[in-house]
Structures are given as structure tokens and as C-alpha cells.
């Protein structure tokens, strides 16, 4: 596996819902960006997600904490 692909596939994020009903939406790579996966989290639930060859972005709706190699980020404030 080449180094660039290895960096992309090695990135994990942890998303912790701070309220009920947080939506996590995975978006595709490629010419047209599309939704390809959705999850709903309730307060206190965690989702561990990974960027892949198919997933280029993750959209979060609601109040959540996101932990990644860049640090901790809060959404929905």
C-alpha cells in the first residue's frame, strides 16, 4: 500500500453524542459526492469511524464531541 493511501485509511475519528438523536452521515469520494451511510446516536453513545477509499467526509448533525488526531472538536454548539 502506498504511503498516501496508508495515511487516509489509517485515520479514525471517535464521535461521542452529547444529546439524543445525533446524526452521523458518511459521504462518498469521487466525481459526485453522495450520502452512503447514516447512523443515529443517543446521548453517551460512541461511534468509531474510519476514512476509507469510499468515505471522504463525515457530516455530524447535533451536539457531539469528535476526537481525532487533530484534537477534540465539538459540534452543534
- Which tens digit of pLDDT belongs to each residue from 34-77? 777 899 999 999 999 887 777 778 899 999 999 988 899 999 87
Sign of CA pseudo-dihedral 50, 71, 3, 36: positive
Are residues 37 and 28 in contact, defined by beta-carbon separation less than 8 angstroms?
no
> With 70 as the cut, is the pLDDT of residue 2 above it?
no
Beta-sheet strands, E only, within 1-77: 12-17, 22-28, 35-41, 46-50, 55-61, 64-68, 71-75
Model pLDDT, residue 77? 73
Structural domain tally of the chain? 1
User: What DSSP line would sit under 8-29, residue for residue?
Assistant: HHH-EEEEEESSTTEEEEEEE-
CATH number of the domain to which 51 belongs: 2.60.40.50
Domain coverage including residue 19:
3-75
- DSSP three-state, residue 7: helix
pLDDT tens profile 17-38: 999 999 999 888 777 777 778 9
Amino acid at each position: 500500500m502506498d504511503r498516501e493511501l496508508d495515511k487516509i485509511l489509517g485515520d479514525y475519528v471517535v464521535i461521542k453524542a452529547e444529546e439524543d438523536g445525533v446524526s452521523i452521515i458518511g459521504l462518498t469520494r469521487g466525481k459526485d459526492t453522495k450520502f452512503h451511510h447514516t447512523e443515529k446516536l443517543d446521548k453517551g453513545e460512541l461511534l468509531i469511524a474510519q476514512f476509507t477509499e469510499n468515505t471522504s467526509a463525515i457530516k455530524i448533525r447535533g451536539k457531539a464531541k469528535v476526537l481525532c488526531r487533530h484534537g477534540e472538536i465539538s459540534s452543534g454548539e
